[in-house]
Amino acid sequence: MIKAKAKQKFESIKDQTLYKYLEDDSDKKLIDDLSSNYYLSLQELRQLMEIFIDFKMWEDNSLLPIIMLQSNNLHLSKEQLLNSIHQKYKETKESTITIKEYPNLNKNKHHLITSNIQTTKTNSGKKISGMCPVASTKTLCCNLRTIDVIQNCAFGCSYCSIQTFYNKNQIMVEDNLDEKLDAITSDLNPLKLYHFGVGQSSDSLLFGNINGTLDSLMNWALKNPNILLEFKTKSNNIDYFIKKSIPTNVFVSWTLNTETIIKNEEHLTASLDERLQAARRLLDHKMKVAFHFHPIVYYKNWKQEYQSVISRLQDNFHPSEILFISLGTITMIKPAIQEMRIKGAKGLLKSKILQMPMEKVYGRLSYPMEIKKEMFTQVYSMFNSNSNSNWTDHIFFYLCMEPRECWDFININKESIPSSNENLESELCLHIHQKMLSC
């Protein structure tokens, strides 16, 4: 009778949880058997499914013996069972993450990027420009303005929030872009510098000059020399910039990470070698570049591997060639976490990102402050450890989306910490502009 009621309860609530996304029959049977023995509430089942799928994404089988053994041991109370599961989850999240190489998902990139993707021109009626979606008075923010000419991204970075905003297989490209860009500048002060970024709603270079988007943006930059136009990318698709005459107020920035993170968490993106080589080519072509170390991820051997990236950067570039470098960590919104777990339930994603310890910071989930302190302090100091010149003295560094206290403990930009978002915006714009003129 108890089993029948438990089974009936489970059947009535299972589709309100991540269970409905499970595609592996053995996974379903495991949860079915457990739920037949214990009368789980909706909240209990939701938490159980999140934990179960997280372990599945981590390729960690240590939870399975607890479920398999205890789900058939009716001498254990439901509380004892759930406590054991939650304790194992806590222990695993508190352990240092080891990221092993998953099966190579970067093969045949062009096919994987373009298959099952529909590209549609749109006159969405929405503003194509606005403030950075994470801009906040609660963090010290550069007040970046964004331009969203393409919506959705075909890269598969596990931690990316873009995947939660749009139809998964549809790339939307804004039509009548020239008119929409001119409408932006009608509200700007022509005597003030503005920093605009392309690459928040999709990788800025992945689709090249699709629908003439790059042509329109170059014309807009040329007409508005007070606009500092940044193309943020994880690709190496720079042919357009090599073949065309590019306005002097346009630059490209690359997000850099360790080879471990690129291979296992930034699926389908260009490799570290490809990103650095593309940046070198643009510099040799008299363009300007910048770099973002974002997200810095905390895992076993992270120090050695980020030091390796920084050493390679210093071997191939001079501080005078780099407009700025930003540092940031994982910052996730709940819909992005949900999307990761849906993919994990379907067996489409292997990722260690959710194994990291997270806590709520201004409505988002990120590392606890003590981990941020260790990572920022270490990475920032690495720029001076293997160099004849102190890179931190010659390049503008800033933290992206981080509280002021993070700036305090690494003593970034030693002269003075910007007093406000507007102050940081002004300092960064002035620095970019002056360095562009000197290049």
Strand pairing class (288-296; 322-329): parallel
* Span 284-339, pLDDT tens digits: 999 999 999 999 999 999 999 999 999 999 999 999 999 999 999 988 888 889 99
- Pick the closest to residue 336 from 298, 369, 295 (CA basis): 295
Kindly give the residue spans of alpha helices, DSSP state H, lying in 125-212.
Answer: 177-185
- Pick the closest to residue 378 from 428, 307, 326 (CA basis): 307
SS3 435: helix
Could you tell me the domains of the chain? 2-94 (no CATH), 109-330+367-438 (3.80.30.30)
Whether the pTM exceeds 0.95: the reply is: no
Please, are residues 366 and 337 in contact by the beta-carbon 8 Å criterion? no
Per-residue pLDDT, 42:
96
Please, are residues 267 and 106 in contact by the beta-carbon 8 Å criterion? yes
- Pick the closest to residue 131 from 401, 325, 385, 336 (CA basis): 401
The rounded distance, in Å, linking the Cα atoms of 34 and 53 is: 15
Which residue positions in the chain have pLDDT lower than 50? Answer: 103-115
Per-residue pLDDT, 113:
45
What average pLDDT does the structure give for the chain?
Answer: 87
